[in-house]
Amino acid sequence: MSTKEKYVPGLDGVIASETAISFLDTEQEKIIIRGHELIELSKSNDYIDIVHLLLNGTLPDSTEKLVLEKELTTNYDIPTDVMKLLALLPKQTHPMDGLRTGLSALSGYDEDIENRSLEANKRRAYALLGNLPAITVNSYRLIHGQEAVQPNQELSYSANFLYMITGEEPEAWEAEIFDRSLLLYSEHEMPNSTFTARVIASTNSDLYGALTGGVASLKGNLHGGANEAVMYMLNEAKSVGEFEELLQKKLMKKEKIMGFGHRVYMKKMDPRALVMKESLKQLCDKKGDSLLLEMCEAGEKVMREEKGLYPNLDYYAAPVYWMLGIPIGLYTPIFFSARTAGLAAHVIEQHNNNRLFRPRVNYIGESY
């Protein structure tokens, strides 16, 4: 390669993979997951259905769904030494770093670690999905000097996840809102974390390593870390007026406003954000407190008028999680936990039809 090749910063619009898993059809404004539309699925399916769809290629029938949910809710075997390791981490460790450490440590306990077959990878993905709620919640709790919590295996996957977070058995409608958030976060084509996981998998590295890299990628506030950043920003204001003022000040200082904009939906609202906004409305009605919804809507207006930018999923996920009583530090780990279904499907696809990722550069250094 002697002459300069076309360089696209941030690989914007570059096709990095062929995949049968998902596609953002921006013309039709559809998020396609294995031939199904995610927003349609969010109306009558739940997270377990999507896990099945992502990892098996089809929506489950009622028996398959029961079997899968049972497998995930009873699959809890985090080694005590991993818990001890998490408890040793300094208090200031970010929960995403705790999760990354816990997830990474699990690899040593997989006696079949070198097996990259479809069956072995699927078994691993299910085991991880079973353990992730506990790893997510307990890495947060142990870092903060709290006791580890045990799952309640009588509850559904999502109800148990929320129960472990808040310590209270959720009402059915709360578990439903939380489940819908997991579904919306489950898979989204080729974001940075998925690309990261596929790049790692392409060296024949294992699922744990690929997912561990995925956690690091998702932590950043240009990606998954935006959901917690949105909540910190909302908490800086106490009224609609204060929030509008805060946004104007940030814009004057040329700061990025978390929860707005998207590489693929830049000038349109993320379809998932609309569904999440409905969940926020539902929560506000139930709790008789609409302040957060009013603030978010005012923020939407400011950003549309000032920048022509629209909310992404993280903008509405943050107030929804807040109103469900979830600690802010868990917002991004929950996103990762939900995305594990999609990431695992991508790693499996990469392993099954692999070519090493190894791009080139345009050299702009000293002449030679």
Ligand X SMILES: CC(=O)SCCNC(=O)CCNC(=O)[C@H](O)C(C)(C)COP(=O)(O)OP(=O)(O)OC[C@H]1O[C@@H](n2cnc3c(N)ncnc32)[C@H](O)[C@@H]1OP(=O)(O)O
Residues in touch with ligand X (CB under 6 A) = 10, 222-224, 226, 256-263, 266, 307, 309, 312-314
Q: Report helix, strand or coil for 37.
A: strand
Is 314 one of the annotated active-site residues of the chain?
yes
* Chosen from ligand OAA, ligand X, none, partner binding at 103 (C-beta under 5 to 8 Å by type): none
**Choice among 179, 223, 314, 351 that is catalytic:** 314
Q: Please state, as a whole number, how many other Cβ atoms lie within 10 Å of the Cβ of residue 12.
A: 8
**Apex 336 CA angle, 333 and 337, nearest 5:** 85
Q: Which does 259 bind (CB under 5 to 8 A by kind): ligand X, ligand OAA, none?
A: ligand X
Question: Which structure tokens are listed for 273?
Answer: 């954000």
> From the candidates 36, 262, 346, 351, which is the catalytic residue?
262
Residues that bind ligand OAA (CB under 6 A): 188, 191, 223, 262-264, 312-313
Which residue number, 120 or 211, has a Cβ lying nearer to ligand OAA? 211
Give the alpha-carbon dihedral of 3, 5, 9, 13, to 10 degrees.
180
Q: Which is nearer to ligand OAA, 45 or 217 (CB)?
A: 217
The alpha carbon dihedral of 55, 60, 63, 65 has a sign of: positive
Identify whether 262 is a catalytic site residue: yes
**Coil, strand or helix at 68:** helix
Residue 224 CB, shortest distance to ligand OAA, in Å, is: 7
Is the CB of 69 or the CB of 314 nearer to ligand OAA? 314
The answer to whether 21 touches 31, Cβ cutoff 8 Å, is: no
CA distances from 12 to 16, 19, 122 (A): 10, 18, 31
Residue 118 partner contact from ligand OAA, ligand X, none using kind-dependent CB cut-offs of 5 to 8 Å: none
Q: Shortest distance, CB of residue 266 to ligand X, whole angstroms? A: 6
Determine the Cα–Cα distance for residues 247 and 254; give it in Å rounded to an integer. Answer: 10
Closest approach of Cβ 336 to ligand X, in Å?
11
The CB-of-75 to ligand OAA minimum distance in angstroms stands at 25
Catalytic annotation, residues: 262, 314
